[in-house]
Amino acid sequence: MEIGRNYQPSEFLRSLRECFSLFLEDQDLRFPTYRKQLALEIRLSIEKLQTEKTLPSLHGLAQTLIKEFETEEDKLSILEIWILWEWNERYRQIRSLLKILSIKEKLLVLPADPIRTNILERLREIEGELISDPLEADPSWIRLPSFRWRFAGILEELEYFETLL
């Protein structure tokens, strides 16, 4: 009997470690200058990858987050953890989708081989999960931790795929 990937002890510990490190990352979003920097980073990535044509749902998500980052001028309190957490999850979701598009562009140039095929298949799985189950506006206190747990290791996995290219 095979244990599902998410329930293997090493995967469980990796997700746990990643979730705790994300709490520290949440705190960086308290500062308006950092939020504006991230908004600019997202805007430039969107223009470079032309997401409006290739992935309209990503373009809409990104525009909403950019607007939220640019309109909130105040430094947020550490006690507003839910807002920071939600923003970070949205940012990571957008960043993951942008990274998927970037990796796909690089893979299309390479010759076909089994590794490339496996990476493309996994990228389609991740993209499907992220698009089919987006974080809704004003998520519940149960939905936010479950979303973080589910997608904690996605960026790490995508960065690994990038190193393979």
Q: What is the pLDDT of residue 37?
A: 92
Q: What is the pLDDT of residue 63?
A: 87
Q: What is the pLDDT of residues 71-114, one digit of tens each?
A: 888 888 878 888 888 999 999 999 999 999 999 988 888 888 88
Give the number of other CB atoms < 10 A from CB of residue 130: 21
Per-residue confidence at 5, pLDDT binned at 50, 70, 90?
low
Q: What is the pLDDT of residues 120-133, one digit of tens each?
A: 999 999 999 988 88
Instruction: Kindly give the interhelix angle for 81-109 and 143-151, rounded to the nearest 10 degrees.
Output: 30
Q: What is the pLDDT of residue 1?
A: 39
pTM of the model: 0.85
For residue 34, what are the CA distances in angstroms to 66, 71, 96, 111, 156?
A: 12, 13, 19, 40, 22
Please list, in sequence order, all residues whose beta carbon lies within 8 angstroms of the beta carbon of residue 104, skipping any fewer than 6 positions away.
120, 123
8 φ, ψ (degrees, to nearest 5): -70, 145
